[in-house]
């Protein structure tokens, strides 16, 4: 017990608008959260919680929303180097012309024992994620040495690291596929490394590129491995009409029905996108317990279509939110993803009542936790859960006045401007907009310098901005006395 008989906790957050996202969707307008040993030990009115606990560190959350950390269920950190690259290509062309050359480079670097590109991409992605209020993220990559797990640990983020597997190169690009005799042993190494991660904050999933890029043999093999190793599966499903047409022409089935019939789907499977779905497909997702990662901004940019989120939610399918790579979205703002997800459903259904703000906020928090089978640990502010918490500034003109705090968060908040404080596993990792675990400026400079030098050596295009800035820096250095 501490002073005046109060129990001491590691962090006491008080005087905030506590948006719990608990089963009752409780909002406490003068609330407090007490954190000790990485977990939430109390949630309630400030007068009650502060009357029982004192914090080694106390955060005054006056004029702040206190809410669960955001859970981004689909991303590719390597492609963050392509932010702002193209906005005029359909997905298949974009992969062929923009993404594939970098994937080839990453795969070949891995095979040559060079892991720096993926490591730098992971550090860079962690910085943006944490500064955006994302406390847990699924990162899907092609060829990653276990050293990337070090990057998650250094940043302090919670992550689901996913190794992409494919045994059919539909783009016919030499060097794009990591051979299975290399990939499957790498998966075993990553499973072991993730299980030994600090605080168990990094989990592993087998990644399967998509039905177009994997044989039925690989799907069945990965299904058996995932069951044996007790890890999940992540796969792109029904992302494009091209995929739907191809699978239907080959097998006379939709992609969802095809994956169901070969035994892949289940409660440990998270499907990314799931746009081109029939009513039967939605029923299959519900009956198998397969979850969905909805990426509205990516789907808009490459014109893939609008996922039937309202119909999936109505059917009881677990739907979460993802930002996808910054090459096909250009930011990691989950508040923007929430806003767009809600608006897309309203206009596509021609019904302003579908997917209300509280539902889409749940997708970005407890829905993400459910999709990753982590709902008993994260996703809401409840006693006993891990303390993944963010504080969002409610004082700025773009978010005021507050008529309905949940609506204001979903429709008016901005990650870069408003996420002020981030706690992961009970540890402060961002405070007053400043990242505490890494030197943000140094990470950005190192990642950019390494990546564009590597791209240049590989004969890939380097944006003029970086060439000119590099030249200017060289000139300034030469002129220094």
Shared-domain flag, residues 146 and 288: yes
d(CA 166, CA 172): 12
User: Could you read off the pLDDT of 129-166 as tens digits, one per residue?
Assistant: 999 999 999 999 999 999 999 999 999 999 999 999 99
Residues 235 and 364 in one domain: yes
Q: What is the CATH number of the domain that holds 58?
A: 2.30.40.10
Instruction: Please tell me whether residue 294 adopts helix, strand or coil conformation.
Output: strand
Q: Are 159 and 115 in contact (CB under 8 A)?
A: no
pTM attached to this predicted model: 0.95
Whether residue 192 is found in the same domain as residue 76: yes
Report the alpha-carbon distance of residue 2 to residue 353 in Å, rounded: 49
Answer whether residue 379 is part of any domain: no
Same domain, 11 and 83: no
105 occurs within a structural domain: yes
Write the DSSP symbol of residue 69.
Answer: P
Write out the residue range of the structural domain in which residue 101 sits: 70-371
27 plus 149 within the same structural domain: no
Q: Show the CA angle centred on residue 181, arms to residues 177 and 185, nearest 5°.
A: 105
pLDDT at 479: 56
- Specify the number of domains making up the chain: 3
pLDDT score recorded for residue 31: 98
Largest CA distance in the chain: 74
Residue 380 lies in a domain: no
Report residue 294 as tokens: 């909805």
Which residues, given as ranges, of the chain have pLDDT below 70?
1-4, 171, 466-481
Based on the fold, state whether residues 165 and 291 are members of the same structural domain. Answer: yes
Q: What is the CATH number of the domain that holds 310?
A: 3.20.20.140
Residue 85: the pLDDT is 79
How many CB atoms are located within 10 Å of the residue 203 CB?
21
Q: Residues 326, 430: one domain?
A: no
Please check whether residues 397 and 269 belong to one and the same domain.
no
Same domain, 249 and 363: yes
- Beta bridge pairs of residue 41: none
Question: 143: Cβ–Cβ under 8 A, 6 or more apart, which residues?
Answer: 106, 107, 109, 110, 111, 118, 163, 178, 183, 186
């Amino acid at each position: 017990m501490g002073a005046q008989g109060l129990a001491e906790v590691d962090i006491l957050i008080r005087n905030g608008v506590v948006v719990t996202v608990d089963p009752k969707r409780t909002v406490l307008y003068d609330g407090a959260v007490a954190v000790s040993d990485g977990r939430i030990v109390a949630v309630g009115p400030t007068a009650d919680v502060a009357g029982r606990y004192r914090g080694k560190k106390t955060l005054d959350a006056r004029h702040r929303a206190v809410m669960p950390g955001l859970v981004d269920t689909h991303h590719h950190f390597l492609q963050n180097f392509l932010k702002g690259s193209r906005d005029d290509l359909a997905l298949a062309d974009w992969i062929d012309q923009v993404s594939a050359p970098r994937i080839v480079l990453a795969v070949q670097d891995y095979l040559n024992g060079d892991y720096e590109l993926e490591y730098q991409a992971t550090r860079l992605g962690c910085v943006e994620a944490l500064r955006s209020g994302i406390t847990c993220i699924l990162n899907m990559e092609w060829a990653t040495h276990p050293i990337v797990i070090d990057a998650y640990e250094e940043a302090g983020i919670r992550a689901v690291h996913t190794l992409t597997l494919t045994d059919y190169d539909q783009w016919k690009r030499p060097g794009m596929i990591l051979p299975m005799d290399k990939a499957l042993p790498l998966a075993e190494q990553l499973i072991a490394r993730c299980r030994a991660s600090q605080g168990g904050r990094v989990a592993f999933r087998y990644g399967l590129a998509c039905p177009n890029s994997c044989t039925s043999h690989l799907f069945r093999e990965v299904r058996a491995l995932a069951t044996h190793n007790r890890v999940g599966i992540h796969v792109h499903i029904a992302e494009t009409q091209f995929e739907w047409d191809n699978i239907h022409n080959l097998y006379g089935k939709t992609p969802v029905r095809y994956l169901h019939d070969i035994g892949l789907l289940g409660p440990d499977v998270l499907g990314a996108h799931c746009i081109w779905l029939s009513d039967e497909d939605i029923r299959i997702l519900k009956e198998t317990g397969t979850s969905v990662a909805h990426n509205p901004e990516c789907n808009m940019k490459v014109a893939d279509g609008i996922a039937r989120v309202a119909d999936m939610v109505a059917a009881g399918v677990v739907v979460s939110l993802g930002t996808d790579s910054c090459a096909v979205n250009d930011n990691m703002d989950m508040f923007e993803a929430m806003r767009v997800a809600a608006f897309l459903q309203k206009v596509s259904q021609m019904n302003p009542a579908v997917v209300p703000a509280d539902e889409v906020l749940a997708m970005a928090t407890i829905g993400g936790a459910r999709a990753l089978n982590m709902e008993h640990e994260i996703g809401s502010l409840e006693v006993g859960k891990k303390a993944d918490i963010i504080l969002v500034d409610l004082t700025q003109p773009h978010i005021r006045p507050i008529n309905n705090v949940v609506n204001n968060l979903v429709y008016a908040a901005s990650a870069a401007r408003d996420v002020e404080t981030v706690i992961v596993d009970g540890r402060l990792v961002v405070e007053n907009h400043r990242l505490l675990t890494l030197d943000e400026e140094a990470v950005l400079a190192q990642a950019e310098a390494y990546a564009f030098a590597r791209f240049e050596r590989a004969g890939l295009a380097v944006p003029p901005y970086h060439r000119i800035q590099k030249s200017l820096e060289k000139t300034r250095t030469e002129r220094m006395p």
